Amino acid sequence: MDLPSLAEELGLEVADVRRLVLTFAEATEGDLMRLELAFTDRDVEQLRRTAHHIKGAASNLEFTEIAAAALAIEDKARSGILEDPANSIARIRGELNSIRIQLHNGE
| Tens-place pLDDT, residues 16-73 | 999 999 999 999 999 999 999 999 999 999 999 999 999 999 999 999 999 999 999 9
Structural domains in the chain (count): 1
Distances (CA, A) of 63 to 2, 39, 50, 107: 11, 24, 16, 15
Tell me the C-alpha distance between 45 and 64, whole Å. 23
For 10-28, write each residue's pLDDT tens digit. 899 999 999 999 999 999 9
Q: Domain of 69: which CATH number?
A: 1.20.120.160
Domain ranges, residue 89: 3-104
